[in-house]
Amino acid sequence: MDREKLAELFSRYKVLSERRSKGENSDELNKELGDVLENMVDLGLYAGGESRRAVIKPDGFTETRGKIFKSFGEQLVAVYRSGLPGAKPDPRLYEVRAPAGLGETVPSDGGFLVESVLSREILGDVWETGKLAKLCRNIPISNASGLKIPAFAETSRATGSRLGGVTGYWKSEGAEKTSSKPTFRQMELTLKKLIGLCYASDELLEDAVALGNVIKQAFISELSFMTDDAIVNGTGVGQPLGILQSPSLVAVTRNGAGTIATSDIFNIWSRCLNPTKAVWLVNSDILPTLFAMTLTVGTAGGVTTMIKEGELPGSPPLSMLGIPLIPIEQCQTLGTKGDIYLANLAEGYVLISKDLKVDVSIHVRFIYDESCFRFVLRIDGQPILSNAITPFKGSATKSHFVCLTT
C-alpha cells in the first residue's frame, strides 16, 4: 500500500479519535470515523478485541488503546442506535466485531458482539449470583467448541482397580517387581447454547445507565438460575448433564416415606467422597423437618439440633454436621428423590464456558416501541465420575454426589 495513503488514513483516524475522546458525538463525526475505520479494516490496518485496539502506524509500529465502551449500557445504546433507519453504526462497534466474516457491524447480518472485557465481567457476575456454578471446577475456553479431559477410569477401590489399575504391593528384598499402570477415559464436553431474551422500551434505551443496570441484572438473574438448574437437573441433551441424571449419583433409600430422619442424614454422609469439601443442597420445603431434627447426646438423654445457624464470623448462615447447607429452588420437594443432596462440586463437577454474545433487533417488538436483546452463553458441564465407586472394604458405593430417594 502507498505509504502516503497510509499516513493520510492514520492522520484522519487520529484527529477524529481525539475529537470523540473530548466528548464530541455528532452524526457527522460518527459517519466520518466509521468510513475511515471501514477502510482501515478492509486494508488490514486495524484490529480490535480483548479490550485492546491496535492501529498500524505509517512507521510500522502499532498504537494500542484501552477499554472501548465505558459500560455495558453504553454499548447497548450504541447497538440500538446503529439499527435505526439511515443510521451509521457507532465506529466503536467496529472494534469489537468478530475476527472474520459474520457481519457483526451490520444489524441485519446478525447483530453485534459485547466487548470482551464487558462480557467477561457479566459472566463473572452470572457465576457469583448463582449458588452452584461458582462452587464447581470452572474452565473458560476461547476458540474451541468443546473440551476433552482425561480422567481416571476408576469404578472400584479394590486392589488392582484403584486409579484405573495402579497396584501397590509388598515384596521381599530382591523379589521380582510387577508392573501396573493407570487407565484413563476421556470426558468430552461440547458447548451448549443458553439463550436469554430481554425487551427494552425506546425510553429506556435513551438512558445508558438505566439500560445497563436493568438488562444486565435481568440477564444475570435468569442465566445464573438456569445454569444452577442444569447443574442439578440437566439431562445432558442440549444442556449440561446434571447431578440427578448422572450415573455416578448414589441414591440412598429413606427410612420413612415423605420425610427425612436423622439416620438418613448419617447414611448420606457415609456415602459421600470427601464430605468435608461438600455442601448440603436442599429444597426449602424440607427446612422445617431439618430444624426439628435432634440428636441424643450421651446417656443423660440430652439432645441437640442437627441444623445450626452460623456461629463463627464468616461462617455459612446454615450448616449440618459442620457442612454448609444451601437452600435452592432446583432441588425436588419433600419426599421426592433429590429433595436433599450432599454434593462435592469442587472435586466432582466440571463446567466449561465461553464469553457471551449479544444481538439486538428493533423489529421483533416494533409496534410496542421495544427492542429485543438476545444473549447467548455457551456452556457445558458434567460430573467427573462416570459411575459410583465401590470402596476397598464393603459394598456400599460412594460418590461425590449423594441424595435421598423414595
pLDDT of residue 154: 72
Q: 46 φ, ψ to 5°?
A: -145, 140
pLDDT of residue 72: 72
| Nearest one of 57, 39, 55 to 47, comparing CA atoms | 55
pLDDT of residue 398: 95
Residue-wise pLDDT tens digits, 66-121: 556 777 777 777 776 776 666 666 767 766 554 333 333 344 444 555 565 666 67
Residue 224: CB atoms within 10 Å: 20
The three cell numbers locating residue 89: 453504526
Place of cell 457507532: 90
In the DSSP assignment, the letter for residue 128 is H
Instruction: Reduce the DSSP state of residue 366 to 3 states and report it.
Output: helix
Cβ contact 320:307 at 8 Å? yes
- Three-state SS annotation for 244-300: CCCCCCEEEECCCCCCCCHHHHHHHHHCECCHHHCEEEECHHHHHHHHHCEEEECCC
Cβ contact 405:337 at 8 Å? yes
- Model pTM? 0.69
Place of cell 469439601: 277
| Nearest one of 151, 229, 215 to 183, comparing CA atoms | 151
Q: Which amino acid is at 107?
A: P
pLDDT of residue 100: 34
Cβ contact 306:287 at 8 Å? no
pLDDT of residue 200: 73
Distance in angstroms (rounded) separating the CA atoms of residues 338 and 333 = 8
Query: Which residue ranges of the chain lie beneath pLDDT 50?
Result: 47-54, 56, 59-62, 64, 98-110
Cβ contact 390:397 at 8 Å? yes
Distance in angstroms (rounded) separating the CA atoms of residues 145 and 192 = 9
* DSSP-assigned letters across all residues of 194-258: EEEEEEEEHHHHT-HHHHHHHHHHHHHHHHHHHHHHHHHH-BSSSSPBPTTT-TT-EEEEPSSTT
> In the chain, helix, strand, coil percent, each to 5?
35, 30, 40
pLDDT of residue 193: 92
Q: 327 φ, ψ to 5°?
A: -75, 130
- E strand or H helix at 340: strand 340-343
Q: How far from chain centre, in Å, is Cα 360?
A: 22
Residue-wise pLDDT tens digits, 177-205: 666 666 667 788 999 999 888 777 766 66
Instruction: Reduce the DSSP state of residue 29 to 3 states and report it.
Output: helix
Cβ contact 151:184 at 8 Å? yes
